[in-house]
Amino acid sequence: MTRLSVNINKIATLRNSRGGNNPDLIQVAKDCENFGAQGITVHPRPDERHIRYNDVYELKKIVTTEFNIEGNCQEQKFVDLVLAVKPEQVTLVPDALGQITSNHGWDTISNQDYLKEIIGVFKNAGIRVSIFVDPVVEMVEAAATTGTDRIELYTEAYAHNYLHNKEEAIAPYVKAAEKAHQLSLGINAGHDLDLENLKYFAENIPALDEVSIGHALISDALYYGLENTIQMYLRQLV
């Protein structure tokens, strides 16, 4: 079964808005695991507007499933953090400074040399590496020569087009995933996956290892409750 990693950035955003510790990020991470999540994802940014760097150290102490840290590896502070914490997985995202949310994958062709170097840094530390890519076969092929263990398919385009034509929306993702599987790359996916589009995606993407979901899941939890929501998402992945 495809694993569900819950991104808890939005919990940190809510906490930070009042300056205290409500909601308690650490307790929420524990609860997510107790409610069935198979991983915890965080995406710290340099301005610490949601996940703080200290949060990452504290989460490492208590996460018992898979800890996945996403971020911009072109920021030395991020690299140092990941090497110090040693999560099970690091997901490399080509964010720009001040970017609100991730909005594109790596150009694995033009950034080939850089990716080989930085991926080697993390793998030498014993950390599994995944890199954010768009559903383009050529980018997947070039990803395979960087040394990465996995790719994470950036799914905003799929989610945006799902209601208009789901077969057309998923087609490039199927091709990209098939190529990744042929090249022995693990396959993750994330961004704007939700209760409406997740099941179809998971059913049609071959060898999908993991999805990372934050915004939609936390938003749904406002109505359905966190435990129930996590179970609802898990049922989409069966």
70 is catalytic: yes
Round to whole Å and give the CA distance between 83 and 115.
16
210 is catalytic: no
β pairing state of 66-71 and 89-92: parallel
Pick from 190, 232, 233: nearest CA to 101: 190
**Residue in 33, 66, 70, 152 annotated catalytic:** 70
For the four alpha carbons of 200, 202, 207 and 212, in that order, the dihedral sign comes to positive
191 is catalytic: yes
Residue owning tokens 């930085």: 118
**Residue in 33, 43, 66, 210 annotated catalytic:** 43
**Residue in 33, 66, 152, 191 annotated catalytic:** 191
Pick from 157, 233, 166: nearest CA to 195: 233
SS3 content of the chain, % helix, strand, coil (to 5): 45, 15, 35
194 phi and psi angles, rounded to 5 deg: -150, -175
Residues serving a catalytic function are: 43, 70, 191
